[in-house]
A and B are shown apart, each in its own frame.
Chain A
Amino acid sequence: MVIELSALSKKYGDKTVVSNLTAVIRPGHVTGFLGPNGAGKSTTMRMVLGLDRPTSGQATVNGHSYRALRAPLREVGALLNPRSVHPKRTARAHLRALAAAGGVPTRRVDEVLELAGITGVADKPAGGFSLGMTQRLGVASALLGDPGVVILDEPVNGLDPDGVLWIRTLTRRLAAEGRTVLVSSHLMSEMSLTATHLLVIGRGRLLADTPMADFIAASGETYVRLRSPRLPELIPLIEGPDTIWSSHQVGEVHVRGLGAAEIGDRAAAAGVPLHELTVVEPSLEAAFMKLTRNERDYRADAQEDPR
């Protein structure tokens, strides 16, 4: 149950949307597919699902191109565009039609309705659904065939906090069951909570294919944020050959090269009060921004973080 991208490329006219993408997405992980809007995430997923044809290269699922799968819904489940139901059709009718086409027993429809928490509205036309309910119907469709490969494009878009939590729990559980889970998002914070592996793309090119922890570690370093009303007395106490400190605000310094415990002990010994002593881990967001600085299609320099 792997998704394999080999030198996958897609051009629309002159515009290269996906460029020479090679990666293997493995089972048992939530693989986060991260990139700014317009980076080529959806196009890549559409090529995996055989909806768009690669200009060159190929995408395979379990070694076969999607078009060669004879019962694809039983192997791959996908949520691409949540608004993909006829608005006058009920959720149940939509799922029943999909089940019939995909060779999935009809009883499974009730199961996924229950799983997505939309049994109560199953017989109402999908056009009246909120974005959150539509998203849940999309997830229900994706899980209809009990597939070993699950592909979700921006699944938390439009979901309320309850729904976001549901998606997090669900994706982690799907991975824990040994499935291959590929989840795209432009929300880095969301990815950091669910993904254990990361594929990062920008302007269609692969920027990183790495475990989440490595990605974060490689892209920044841990420091200690320190605030004290008597900083001038504190600075000499923490200075040393391996320590680097920098000041960003009055009364606050960032210290690298010295642990929080050590700083706290020295401050206590000298009787200097501390108002804050925080270990700051590099965030996925910071790592991502650093990596994609030059890869964003639409830069908004004015809004860019000066750091």
Chain B
Amino acid sequence: MSTTHSPAPAVRNQLGQPPRTASRGGLMRAEWIKFSSLRSTWVTLVAVIVATVGLGWLFAAVAAAASSSGDAPLGAVSGVALSLAGAQIAWIAFGVLGVLEVTGEYSHGSIGPTFSADPRRWPTLLTKVAVLAFVVLITGGVSVLTAFILGQAALGGAALSLTDDGVVRVLVATTVYLAGLGLIGQALGWLLRSTAGAVAALFGLVFLLPGLGQLLPSSWGPDVVRWLPAQAGQAAQSLVPGEGDLAPVTGLVVFLMWVLLALVAAAVATSRRDA
């Protein structure tokens, strides 16, 4: 390396008195710099928007074409679901984003400096939660809303508007679901510290767990399955609640409780364990 030994600036400089407490704003800026200084973050977010809006429009347009040719008459209810089809895939991207926000620090060792700057740790955890929630709610909300508007435009005659009964609830619930799975991904990242492990756990939670629930006796199995995170979260996402699902608001509350539980477990484990 070509480094000259020109006189280095003095080490002792005038930084002023140290702050008495680490500032919440400082942590927020730190986490935002970390989040936004990786190109993969932006690629993921753009991909989510494109996929959500594009897929929703595509599904709606194909269905509208089939409907107008008389193959498959289209109801308004499935029209909303069609335009939000992309969101059912977008959660994967948000979940993985949540996982990576944390496991990236563990796998590259930057968790050491991070916790050296904030030895209590939970403020950092809380800040990462806030940054992710903010980004996913904005990105997810914009994609979901755009997907709905474009999808309904493609549907033509069978289209619904935002003022129709339950539409806003479905859009909000879908956005919250996306953010919630991102946060569960982050919590799993804190708990498992490994990208592969946390992503696998997240997929298991959403895809595998309900399937295992099917193996339970039919007399009480469904009563368990409907309370699972993914099932509860999806209950509020259809215009007309599905049979056997929790009521929309109950489902959303139960889902958020799961998110909270995951984050509390993550905070407790993280502040107790060795970094």
Q: Are A132 and B1 in contact (CB under 8 A)?
A: yes
Q: How far is the CA of A155 from the CA of B122 in the complex (A)?
A: 30
B241: interface (CB < 8 Å): no
Minimal Cβ-Cβ distance residue in B for A127: B108
Q: Which residues of B contact A52 (CB under 8 A)?
A: 274-275
The secondary structure that dominates the B interface is: loop
Q: Which residues of A contact B110 (CB under 8 A)?
A: 84-86, 94
Q: Which residues of B contact A98 (CB under 8 A)?
A: 30, 113-114, 117
Task: Output the residue of B11, B21, B108, B114 with the most chain A CB within 10 A.
Answer: B11
Q: Are A115 and B11 in contact (CB under 8 A)?
A: yes
Q: Which residues of B contact A111 (CB under 8 A)?
A: 9, 13
Q: Which one, B31-39, B90-98, B225-233, B247-255, is touching chain A?
A: B31-39
Q: Are A74 and B38 in contact (CB under 8 A)?
A: no
Q: Which one, A65-73, A211-219, A275-283, is touching chain B?
A: A65-73
Q: Which residues of B contact A130 (CB under 8 A)?
A: 1
Q: Which one, A140-148, A264-272, A295-303, is touching chain B?
A: A140-148
Q: Which residues of A contact B20 (CB under 8 A)?
A: 70-71
Q: How many residues of B contact A (CB 8 A)?
A: 46
Q: Which residues of B contact A75 (CB under 8 A)?
A: 18
Q: Are A83 and B21 in contact (CB under 8 A)?
A: no
B244: interface (CB < 8 Å): no
Q: Which one, A30-38, A159-167, A193-201, is touching chain B?
A: A159-167
A233: interface (CB < 8 Å): no
Minimal Cβ-Cβ distance residue in A for B111: A84
A87: interface (CB < 8 Å): yes
A103: interface (CB < 8 Å): yes
A101: interface (CB < 8 Å): yes
Knowing that A74-B15, A94-B110, A170-B11 touch, tell me 20 more A-B residue pairs with CB under 8 angstroms: A46-B275, A49-B112, A50-B119, A51-B116, A52-B274, A52-B275, A70-B19, A72-B117, A72-B119, A88-B39, A93-B37, A97-B34, A100-B29, A101-B114, A102-B22, A108-B13, A130-B1, A145-B18, A146-B11, A146-B12
12 A–B contacts from the bound complex (CB under 8 Å) = A50-B115, A51-B112, A71-B19, A83-B108, A97-B34, A98-B114, A100-B27, A101-B26, A105-B15, A111-B9, A146-B11, A163-B1
By a beta-carbon cutoff of 8 Å, the part of chain B in contact with chain A is 1, 3-5, 8-9, 11-13, 15-16, 18-23, 26-27, 29-31, 33-34, 37-40, 104-105, 108-110, 112-120, 124, 272, 274-275
The 7 closest A-B pairs by CB, nearest first: A101-B30, A74-B18, A84-B109, A93-B37, A117-B3, A101-B117, A100-B30
